[in-house]
Chains A and B, each alone.
Chain A
Amino acid sequence: MAGGGALSKILFVMLHPGFIRYYEGALTALADAGHHVHLAFEISRTKLGEDETARRLGAMSPRITCGTTPERHESVRDFLVRGDRSATRSGDVNRAASVTAEERWESLATTVRLMLDYLRFFEPEFAHADKLRDRAEKRLPRVHARTTGLIGAAGRPARRAFAGVLRQIERVIPVGHALEQFVRDEDPDLLLVTPLIELGSQQVDYVKCARTLGIPSVLCVASWDNLTSKGLIRVAPDRVVVWNEAQRGEAIALHGIPPDRVAITGAQVFDRWFAARPTRSREEFCRAVGVDPSRPFVLYVGSSVFIAPDEVPFVERLLWSLRSSTEPTVANVGVLVRPHPANGRQWRAFDPEACPGTTLWPPIGTDPNAADFWRDYYESLYYSAAVVGINTSALIEAAIVGRPVFTITTPEFAHAQEGTLHFRHLVGEGGIVHAARSLPEHVAQLAALLTSAAGVDEWRRLEFVRSFVRPHGLDVEAASIFASTIGDMARTPRPRPHPDSIVLRACRPAVWPIAWLARTLAEDRPLWAYALRPPMALAVWALAVVYRARTGIYEHVRPRIKRARRALQRARHEASRAIEKRWKRAQRSAKRALAAANSAERKG
């Protein structure tokens, strides 16, 4: 229950502190409204200074606190590491350690969830999502991947039936004691989780736990690709908070969430883009960055590592296409390349000196938490003539700022463009991105824009931003809608607790062997290794028995025999010496007696 005078207490379970950036404004709005929010992170992450974000947020309001969730026997990461031979060699996983029952249940939970996630990518909607399917497959131990793959390809009825079985197993799996105790101790009025849809996510346990304890649970969908490019919402929470109508449709159609459980709040992560204003003139900005202020510049926004693992060669070709244009405005246009903050390393191979008129900025390794980082990013969008990218949320941000947005659909990024459903939000009906099928077509589009032959369709842009980012109105902050929606849920009476039924508990012993098997197979060894294991174990055991018996004989029996033999020898030796002494003594006595008899005879 709420304490310290707070309206209500909200427990927000996040995978890692990196998710704060999606909810920073909404969290402060909740705190300002009088709610106490405790953020609990399942894992730490410092790649982009996320720990610093958490610290900063904690300092903002006494009503916001941060901590960690209880450590689990087996996180998804551990599960995956177990199957990774190199990780095992480096000593990250201790295979020799004894396995607890709870660990076996967690292994089963992870296996079932990963199988469900893999299975979803066989649905017709994901027919072109080969890379997403491959990614889900790679997470599974091979034996499960093969089985699930066969069932997945066997048709919809087979998939439905198998998914039904997996969901029933999911129901039977108990929630860990430490996790349940953690939620009991926190005793929140409302439990929020994000992202929940990570492949094999263990956050499902928090939703199950909340149901058991009678705490309402909410999934906060963090980003625009979450419902289509990752895993399933395997156990439906009481409410799902999404950005827009499109995501609402995805939650219902792809995840089976009842329509009345979905709430649309808008994309709170983009709120600051609406309020932002430049702090420098264009000339000042261009000079600071190193772009010629007398010419327009195009901003190339980098994508994440999954979307664009090898982006540099593509950009080199893009630059060559621009420079080769017969239209001087395009041939001489400035280009500002902005790598994705989490995919910056590959840009070290980019050689701006070999590409005149091009600037890579900010420098690779710039701290995303630096004071000017966001301001610089905003101004690079604001002062650009156009924004180009493969598939990234920066394209949405460009649309909010009012810049024309372009992409090039190319075979090397097909997995991230046509191969993802969220890309269609950008280029499909109602989308804002001008997609070219080749570099020459893209150059022609840019030429038309830069020579003012084609202006920006302002109505279309605003309509996209309204429907996708701020469905409650362009002037209405999504964070405030999010905070009021969450606040209302936190104040509603708690639902009735739903402890595990007797039937479920009765089923557990029957499912236990599957949990045992899941933990064993999570090692991801070839099947013959598992088949060989029992006879090998028997042989090793037999050898051990023989060895121990021999050792026992050597250590205990042989010394005793030796000792007895020595004692016997000693006794024999001493007895023979005694007999010899007596014999000699008798001989001497007999000699003496004989001598005495002889002398008596002589005298007599």
Chain B
Amino acid sequence: MPAPFPRRQLRDAAPLLLSAELRDRAARAAAALPFDLPARFVAFDVRRNPAALAPAIDWLLTQGYSIVRIGHTEDAMPGRGVLDVPSSGIEVDLLQRFIVEKARFVVCDSGERQHTASRINTPTLRLNARDPFSAYPVRGNGLFTLGAAVDLDSGRVLSPRELLSESYLRHGRHFALRPNRPAQVLAAVKEMHEGVTAGWREDADQMRVRELVTDAGLLLASRIPLVAEWGPDDGFIGDGRLARWQAGEL
């Protein structure tokens, strides 16, 4: 079984910020962008169904945020006032790291980006997660949503509760993921905004989900490598939470 992800250690770790030298270099690279990096922006790095982001982006724009896209070059989100960094071709890796550090919050659908942001202590919304263990945010400023898992043989959409079952976690290759719908993304983004501006609060369902995920993790860790690696670390799964709209369904 793989070693567990050090959740407890990361929970209390100091933010991993760029050194002064790298920060200067990144700032110079940002200055070379064809646009000025705004003061108040949300960074997006989402591969699946960009159409689902449109209402959320529109809403964020009305709240005074700018939208900066990071990630892969080919994932361009045309129009809608999105500032596209990858297509600039300027020291992209360092620049993207800098942008994650500067962003008010990050919206992403990959674990890699979620963990980078978490280490910097930038609030993060992880969309379309495949399972509740690998996506569960360590820090309290993290939020996540689960995608809709579909059985590839029958086409049946699994209930969110089934994403905690042994058969799903063990046979992940038999399932594909449908991304969140526009209204679901919008609801999660609104919750992020609320947390960032008015402080994080948690409802009863979200607390119940944390307990549910922790209990399932403790039960399955000895049997399923994915849970052994990403499940609770000495009983601690994370201070973050599942998005409010979904917590009631689990």
Interface residues of A (CB under 8 A from B): 312-313, 316-317, 319-321, 323-326, 345-346, 348-351, 353-355, 364, 410-412, 438-440, 443
Contact = CB atoms under 8 A, between A and B. Distances in A.
| Among B48, B74, B77, B179: residue with most chain A CB under 10 A | B74
A414 to B, nearest CB: 10
Contact of A313 (B48, B148, B182): B48
Nearest to A349: B176
Interface in B151-169: 151-153, 155
Contact of A324 (B78, B151, B181, B182): B78
Interface range, B side: 20 to 34
A349 B50 contact: no
B51 to A, nearest CB: 5
Contact of B179 (A316, A319, A364, A412): A316
A210 to B, nearest CB: 42
Given A320-B49, A345-B152, A351-B181, 12 more contacts: A313-B48, A317-B50, A319-B51, A324-B78, A348-B150, A348-B152, A348-B155, A350-B178, A351-B49, A354-B181, A354-B182, A410-B74
B192 to A, nearest CB: 21
Contact of B178 (A317, A321, A345, A351): A351
Contacts of B75: 317
A317 B46 CA distance: 10
Given A354-B52, A354-B181, A349 B150 contact: yes
A355 B176 contact: no
Contacts of B150: 348-349
Contacts of A439: 74, 76, 78
A443 B78 CA distance: 11
B88 interface: no
Contacts of B176: 312, 345-346, 348-349
A87 to B, nearest CB: 16
Contacts, number: 74
A320 B51 contact: yes
Contacts of B72: 411
B79 interface: yes
Contacts of B148: 351
| Among B49, B72, B181: residue with most chain A CB under 10 A | B49
Contacts of B155: 348, 364
B74 A411 contact: yes
Nearest to B51: A320
Interface in B93-131: none
B61 interface: no
A411 B78 contact: no
A349 B48 CA distance: 11
B47 A438 contact: no
Contacts of B50: 316-317, 320
B179 A351 contact: yes
Nearest to B72: A411
A355 B49 contact: yes
Nearest to A325: B78
20 contacts: A316-B48, A316-B49, A316-B51, A320-B78, A321-B76, A321-B78, A325-B78, A346-B176, A348-B152, A349-B178, A351-B49, A351-B148, A354-B49, A355-B49, A355-B51, A412-B74, A438-B74, A438-B76, A439-B74, A440-B76
A42 B232 CA distance: 51
A349 B51 CA distance: 15
Nearest to B52: A354
B56 interface: no
Nearest to A356: B51
B179 A324 contact: no
Contacts of A324: 77-80
Nearest to B182: A354
A257 B153 CA distance: 44
Contacts of A312: 176
B177 interface: yes
Contacts of B151: 348
B205 to A, nearest CB: 25
A356 B77 CA distance: 17
Contacts of A317: 47, 50, 74-76
A308 B62 CA distance: 38
B74 A354 contact: no
B61 to A, nearest CB: 15
Interface string B42-74: 000001111110000000000000000000111
Contacts of A353: 181
A350 B177 CA distance: 8
| Among A324, A325, A364, A438: residue with most chain B CB under 10 A | A324
B241 to A, nearest CB: 25
Contacts of A348: 150-152, 155, 176
